Amino acid sequence: MSDEIKRVKRELKFKGKIIDFYQDTMEINGDHTVIWDFIKHKGAAAVVPVTDEGKILMVRQYRNALERYTLEIPAGALDTADEPGITCASRELEEETGYRSENLEWLINLRTTVAFCNEKIEVFVAKNLIPSRQHLDEDEFIDLGAYTMEELKEKIYSGEIEDAKTVSALLAYEVKYCK
């Protein structure tokens, strides 16, 4: 293993709406250089919304990268890199599900793809849901459903749910809350 790795240059290759793509020139042990890709993301937050009956609200939406619909927990990007995750999670809960909660509890932090991206997702659990209304972004088309944890585990283990934040959050929720 290398004792010393340092970045000697970071070059912006593409600035996008959600991500910025860089190429980093890295020096390894002072004797050779390599080029590593780096994707900068301002961060995100997600929420596991739990109804009074113990069901979990999930959103079904089209994901361009996969060219299909996915079933996920509500989530979204931070408005700014310094926005508190709980603020974003609360906003996304209401925007995507039409419910709000004054009882969000931190569950876990996730790093989505540590090999080349710095994205961090803070995940919260929302209970005592209060009916409100959806405030979908102009490019969001979401179907809402309520599922038991058993139904969701079946969907995870059958491969229907593959989204890493959703799988991680649901299984963490089960371990922490479904004893």
Residues 6+ apart with CB under 8 A from 6: 26, 27
* 138 has catalytic annotation: yes
Within the chain, residue ranges assigned H as helices are 85-97, 149-157, 164-177
Three-class SS state of 125: strand
Distance from C-alpha of 37 to C-alpha of 53, rounded to nearest angstrom? 45
Q: Which of 92, 138, 140, 151 is catalytic?
A: 138
Nearest to 80 by CA among 32, 44, 134: 44
> Which positions are catalytic?
138
